[in-house]
Amino acid sequence: MIERTLVLLKPDTVQRCFMGEIISRFEKAGFKIVGCKMVWIDKDFSKQHYEEHVEKDFYPGLENMITDGPVLAMVLEGVDAIENVRKMVGATEPKASAPGTIRGDYAHISYGHADENKIGVKNLIHASDIPENAKKEVSLWFTEKELHSYKTVHDAHILE
C-alpha cells in the first residue's frame, strides 16, 4: 500500500550538517519527498507532537532537544512507507540500533547516558510509527497545499 509518513531530521542532525546524507538514503531507497520545510518549533508545538510522552520522566530533556534549533520536516511517500522508513531509522536507542540503520550508523549513545545527564536521546531522526500517528503527524506539520503529487523515475518501477 502506498503510504505517507512524517520524518523529522532533528536539531542534532541539522547542527551536524547531516541532512543531505540522510535525505540521500531515502531518495536512493526510492521514497518520494512530497513535502519538505525547515521549522524551529516551540515548547507548545513539541507537546502536541510528543503528546504521548509529555507525562514521561524523559520528556523535559526531549523537549529541550527538539526545540534547540530548527528541524527539517519531510513527508515521504512509498510502499508501506511507515514500516519501511522505521526499518531504515533503526531502534530508538542509538546504542541498540543496528549498523546499517541511520541511528546505528551515525549515533551511539545509550538511554543510561541520556538519563544520567537529563538530556534527550540524540538519535537524529523522528519517523511516524503507525498509520494512525502518521496521519495525525502529517496534518500537524503540513497543510494540504504544502504536499505535492508528482512523478519520480521510481514510479515507473513501483507502479508499472
Q: What is the binding site for Mg ion (CB under 5 A)?
A: 129
Q: Yes or no: say if 3 and 77 are a contact pair by the CB < 8 Å rule.
A: yes
Q: Find, among 60, 73, 42, the residue nearest to 139 by Cα.
A: 73
φ/ψ region of 9 (left if φ > 0, alpha if ψ in -120 to 50, else beta) reads: beta
34 binds, among Mg ion, ligand IDP, none (CB under 5 to 8 A by kind): none
The smaller minimum CB distance to ligand IDP, of residues 68 and 115, is found at 115
* Cα–Cα distance measured from residue 16 to residue 31, given in angstroms and rounded to the nearest whole number: 23
The smaller minimum CB distance to Mg ion, of residues 55 and 144, is found at 55
Q: Is 126 a catalytic residue?
A: yes
Among 53, 108, 113, 126, the one annotated catalytic: 126
* Cα–Cα distance measured from residue 65 to residue 68, given in angstroms and rounded to the nearest whole number: 5
13 binds, among ligand IDP, Mg ion, none (CB under 5 to 8 A by kind): none
121 binds, among ligand IDP, Mg ion, none (CB under 5 to 8 A by kind): ligand IDP
Q: Yes or no: say if 46 and 69 are a contact pair by the CB < 8 Å rule.
A: no
User: Residue 34 carries which DSSP code?
Assistant: E
Q: Which residues bind ligand IDP (CB under 6 A)?
A: 53, 58, 61-62, 92, 111, 114-115, 120-121, 123, 126, 129
Q: Find, among 26, 19, 6, 134, the residue nearest to 69 by Cα.
A: 19
The smaller minimum CB distance to ligand IDP, of residues 130 and 158, is found at 130
The smaller minimum CB distance to Mg ion, of residues 24 and 92, is found at 92
120 binds, among Mg ion, ligand IDP, none (CB under 5 to 8 A by kind): ligand IDP
What residues are annotated to the active site?
A: 126
